[in-house]
A and B are shown apart, each in its own frame.
Chain A
């Protein structure tokens, strides 16, 4: 080692004012204690996942056992009537509602998010970017209940005012309004994640394209965007996952009517809304209706987890590697 050469110098330096009395007798103890405590903190993060899985699986099992229903009938059953006798627990209407909100909000969020990412990474002057990026972060922190109220206060009345004169009947709670607000809500997620990827595209690619006579538009859309495409797709998938798990905005905007309808102006019910409906209702602990919320929760957790893993895979598998 290099330090060995200075070994001789150590004895030359005089002792400081107070001589060192050796390490504190507690130093070793503190060391072990803190390592243990921090390890416990790390373990809690793992235990959280374990807890989620155990709770969902155990209670779902209890539900399937108690309601005497098969997984296939549960996932693909067309009727959700927990109050009827015998109760029917087909959650396909809920999955359909969730799917509608996810797809509809993607139509709003993905183009807007991607374009704003391109603006921030390619077009924005440094100063504008310095203002816009924190603003988008602020927007990302707005809670979903605010967006839900936004749907009630502005979006649904605006849809009514725009579409009812044309002869469409707009229900007070409708899927379109939910799609719009959830879409606006997840724009910051898409734009900030995509922007990170686009900014990371090496400057050399842009310079090479400019050198060949490309315009800024061409550089942005044909060089930078394809280079960062895997990250952009990963951010899209994450945004869809967020829309799937979105609760309060959908509860306030889309209503609580489990039906499979292709009319975006009618009420729907998503998985998250159903969970809120069950917990807000009078279902007592241990009844099949109450336990069904865990089974729906497990379905929801499975879908979002699959989307998150897919997003990571896309990011890793299809990443263009530059030096």
Chain B
């Protein structure tokens, strides 16, 4: 006992004082990302204004006007090697095309696979294999999907008749596969959150399996599925590497006319401007990043709002 007493050093003061420091450090660590993004966005605004307006607060109105002029110019002008007239019009249109095509092709397949796994597939080895496969697909780097798209859709292993070439459709297929795991996983989560009593009630009334799914389970899971779909689509806006692989060349000046037409996308054009060593292009790149971030943050915020509303409703 006496030995134990000699070893008893509560060190209360030290131990108590360690806590707040640690807590504060952890809090600061949590804020890192936010602070970095804020600093970055601020510096991008500055870069978009060409770094000319030094006392920003003196000429705020002028700065805002300059900024809006730049933005409207970037949206309406095409790509150019002259920084004074360069813009992102063709890339923006290409990105909107891709969004639409992925929303039509990729998202229904993802939701379908999620419904299949949750509502149809008998639990067993097959389901487990598909499930493991999906979680592994979620970890495959986006550039590997680009390689897949290049060999499968753009070239079709050299089969001339099937090859789509560097077309919008090939890009949309590639990005559709890329976001498939995200969509499947969020759909599954949304379906799992639907109480099984709902299914049992419908089945007991004589509804067939598809009637149960389409009439009761899917409507109940819709907010969650929509959140996943929006998050998936927001990846479509930002993904660059796979599009570079499937031939979204930056030097396209003409708007795409159909799904088999050549195209370019907003992030690809940003990448091309960012590579330019000329400092004049810094403004253009910064403006492009701002357009991209604005689109993304709007979509992500929409997804979060939908989900929170849904949670509160339950």
**A contacts, CB < 8 Å to B:** 27, 30-31, 34-35, 37-42, 44-46, 48-49, 51-52, 55-56, 58-59, 111-113, 115-116, 118-120, 123-124, 132, 134-139, 141-146, 148-150, 152-154, 184, 187-188, 191, 215-218, 220-221, 238, 241-242, 244-248, 251-252, 272, 275-276, 279-280, 285, 293-294, 297, 300-301, 304-305, 307-309, 312
A-B contact pairs, 26 of them (CB 8 A): A35-B120, A38-B115, A39-B120, A41-B115, A42-B130, A44-B109, A45-B184, A51-B152, A52-B140, A52-B148, A56-B144, A58-B157, A124-B27, A135-B34, A142-B238, A142-B293, A143-B240, A145-B271, A150-B36, A184-B32, A217-B18, A221-B22, A238-B139, A245-B144, A251-B271, A301-B144
Q: How far is the CB of B72 from chain A (nearest CB, A)?
A: 21
Q: Which of B119-153 contact A (CB under 8 A)?
A: 119-121, 129-130, 133-137, 139-148, 150-152
Contacts A141-B234, A215-B19, A245-B144: A49 and B209 contacting too (C-beta < 8 A)? no
**Within the complex, which residue of B109, B241, B293 is in contact with A248, where a contact is CB–CB below 8 Å?**
B241
Given contacts A215-B15, A245-B144, 17 further A-B contacts (CB under 8 A): A38-B112, A40-B112, A45-B184, A49-B133, A49-B137, A116-B30, A119-B30, A134-B308, A142-B293, A145-B267, A145-B289, A153-B43, A184-B33, A184-B36, A215-B18, A216-B19, A275-B143
CB distance from B157 to the nearest CB of A (A): 8
A14 CB to nearest B CB, Å? 17
Taking the closest CB of chain A, its distance from the CB of B188, in whole angstroms, is: 11
- Assuming the contacts A45-B113, A135-B34, asked whether A215 and B209 have C-beta atoms less than 8 A apart, the reply is no
Within the assembled complex, what's the spacing in Å between the Cα atoms of A150 and B143? Answer: 20
Give, as a whole number of angstroms, the nearest-CB distance from B119 to chain A: 8
How many angstroms from the CA of A241 to the CA of B142 in the assembled complex? 12
Report the separation of the CA atoms of residues A216 and B61 in the bound assembly, to the nearest whole angstrom.
50
B304 to chain A, nearest CB (A): 5
Give every chain B residue within 8 A of A276 (Cβ-Cβ).
143, 241, 244-245
| B contact set with A: CB distance below 8 Å | 15-16, 18-19, 22-23, 25-27, 29-30, 32-34, 36-37, 39-40, 43-44, 47, 108-113, 115-117, 119-121, 129-130, 133-137, 139-148, 150-152, 155, 157, 177, 180-181, 184, 208-211, 213-214, 231, 234-235, 237-241, 244-245, 267, 270-271, 274-275, 282, 285-286, 289, 292-293, 296-297, 300-301, 304, 308
Closest to A114 in B: B29
Main secondary structure of the interface of A (DSSP, over half): helix
- A149 engages B235 (CB within 8 Å): no
In contact, B142 and A247 (Cβ under 8 angstroms) = yes
Give the residue of B121, B211, B274, B296 whose beta carbon is less than 8 angstroms from that of A148: B274
Contacts of B141 in A (CB 8 A): 242, 244-247, 272, 300-301, 304
